[in-house]
Amino acid sequence: MSLPGAFAYGGEVATPYVSRPRKNAHTGLLAGLGHTEAQQTTLHPLVGRVFVHTLDRENFLHLPELVVSVPATVPITYHAHLQGHPDLPRWLRYAQRSPHQPGFLYGTATPADRGRQVIEVTAYNRDSFDTTRQRLVLLIGDPEGPLLPYQAEFLVRSHDVEEVLPSTPAGRFLTALGGLWEPGELQLLNITSALDRGGRVPLPIEGRKEGVYIKVGSSSPFSTCLKMVASPDSQARCAQGQPPLLSCYDTLAPHFRVDWCNVLLVDKSVPEPADEVPTPGDGILEHDPFFCPPTEATAREFLTDALVTLLVPLLVALLLTLLLAYVMCCRREGRLKRDLATSDIQMVHHCTIRGNTEELRQMAASREVPRPLSTLPMFNVRTGERLPPQVDSARVPLILDQH
C-alpha cells in the first residue's frame, strides 16, 4: 500500500535552466509579474501513471538572481499549450478553479506519447496585465517495477478535481483504500473530472461538488469486498435505487464519499485471447446440404410487365380527361335554355329596368349639370359681403313623362 508522495507528482524535476532576466525585469516584478524570459524545467512523466504538475506563483516566478514575492491577493491565471500548437496534447489537461488559486496540469500519458514534449505556460497578472513564461520539457518514458494488472475506478462525489490533484489528499485516498484491497502497493493511474465524463454541473449549493473519477492500479488481486460491490447482484440493487452489497467497512468514509454503484473493476492478469485472423480461401463455398442454390435461371420475358407498367396509367389518365371534357363542354345549359326556364313577367321587368337605366345614362350625358349649392361661395373673400345662394334656373325634368 502506497503512502502519500509514493507516486510521482509532476515527475522528477531536473536542474532547471533559467535564462538571465532582462535589465528592466526588476521593475516589472515589483509591480506583480515581470516580463522575464521563459524559464525551463524538465519533468519525467511515466506512461500509464498519473502526472500532476502544480502551477504555483511561488515556484513559477522563482528566479535564482532575483527573488520577489508576489502578494497572494494578486489574481494570476495561466495558459498552457504544446510548443508549436494552440492547445495541449490529448492526454494532458489544465484546471484552475479561480485566479487566486494555483493551476494544475494533469493527465496520463499513453504509449503513443513516448518521447519529448515541450509545454509553454504563460502566467497573466490580472491587475497589472504583466506576463511571464515558463517552458516545461516533458520526457515521457516507461514505468519501472511490476505491472499493475488489477485496476479499479471509483467515483468520488465529495470532491472536485482540483481538491484531489495535490499529493496530500491523493495519498490519503490511497491509504484509506488500502483497507478494502489486498495488501500490496497501490498507485494512481488516472484522475478525471466527472464533467469530462458527461456529468452535470452541480447547483451552487454548499456541499455540492462536481465529482472526480480516480483510477487505481495494483499488482495484488481484488479483495472479496470489491468483487461483491461489482457483482451483478449489486448492480441489480443499484438499478432499483438500493445501496449495493458491501461486506466490509467503508474505510474511505467520511473523508471521501464514494458512489459504490459506479465502481469499475478491470482484471488484466489474464490475457485476452487474440482475435482469429480469417484465412483467405479460394472463393468457392463448400457443399452444404441445407443450402441448395439454383444452378440455372429460367428465361423470363419482361415485355408484358413493361406494357402493363406504362399503358395502365396512360389509359386511366385518358379516361379522366374524356370525362372532364364531357362535363365541361357537353353539359352546358346555354342561354336559350336559361331564357325558357325564366318566367315572362320576370323577363319584362328585367328588360324595363335595363331600358330605363340606359335612357338615364344617355340623358345625363347630353345635358349640363349645374354646380352643387354646397360648393358655391356664401361671401366675398375680399370684401366680406354675404351673397345669397344662387338658384339654378334649369328646371328640365330628367324624365319627360313626369310633367
Element (H, E) at 353: helix 344-366
The CA distance from 209 to 366, in Å, is 100
Q: Please report the pLDDT score of residue 151 as a whole number.
A: 92
Q: Alpha-carbon distance 85 to 92, whole Å? A: 13
Q: Which of 137, 85, 139, 142 is nearest to 110 (CA)?
A: 142
Long-range contacts of 382-389 (CB under 8 A, 24+ apart): none
Cβ distance 251 to 177 under 8 Å? yes
The residues near 137 (Cβ < 8 Å, ≥ 6 apart) are 40, 41, 42, 43, 116, 117, 118
DSSP classification of residue 348: H
pLDDT tens, per residue, the chain with 403 residues: 433 333 455 444 333 333 333 333 333 333 344 444 568 889 999 999 999 999 987 765 554 433 455 667 888 999 999 999 999 999 999 999 999 899 999 999 999 999 999 999 999 888 888 888 889 999 999 998 888 999 999 999 999 999 999 888 999 999 988 888 877 788 999 999 999 988 888 888 887 889 999 999 998 888 888 889 888 998 899 999 888 888 788 888 888 999 999 999 998 887 777 777 777 777 776 777 777 777 777 788 888 899 999 999 999 999 999 999 988 887 776 777 777 778 888 888 888 998 889 888 888 777 665 655 555 555 555 555 555 555 444 554 555 444 4
pLDDT of residue 273: 76
The dihedral region occupied by 129, where left means phi > 0, alpha psi between -120 and 50, and beta the remainder, is left
Cβ within 8 Å of residue 75, ≥6 positions away: 98, 99, 100, 125, 126, 127
To the nearest 10°, the Cα dihedral for 388, 389, 393, 398? -160
**Separation between Cα atoms, residue 14 and residue 8, nearest integer Å:** 13
Within the chain, which residue ranges are assigned CATH 2.60.40.10? 40-63+71-140
* Domain 40-63+71-140 class in CATH: mainly beta
At residue 64, the pLDDT reads 43
* Whole-number Cα distances in Å, 297 to 293, 294, 306, 342: 10, 7, 20, 76
pLDDT for position 314: 95
The whole-angstrom separation of Cα 197 and Cα 199 is 6
* 11: nearest Cα among 116, 83, 88, 98: 116
Task: Dig out the grid coordinates for 23 from the structure.
Answer: 535589465
The amino acid at residue 63 is: L
DSSP assignment of 240-305: TTPPPP--S--TTTTT--B-GGG-EEEE-SSPPPPPPPPPP--S-PPP-TT----SSPPP---HHH
Phi and psi (nearest 5°) for 93? -130, 160
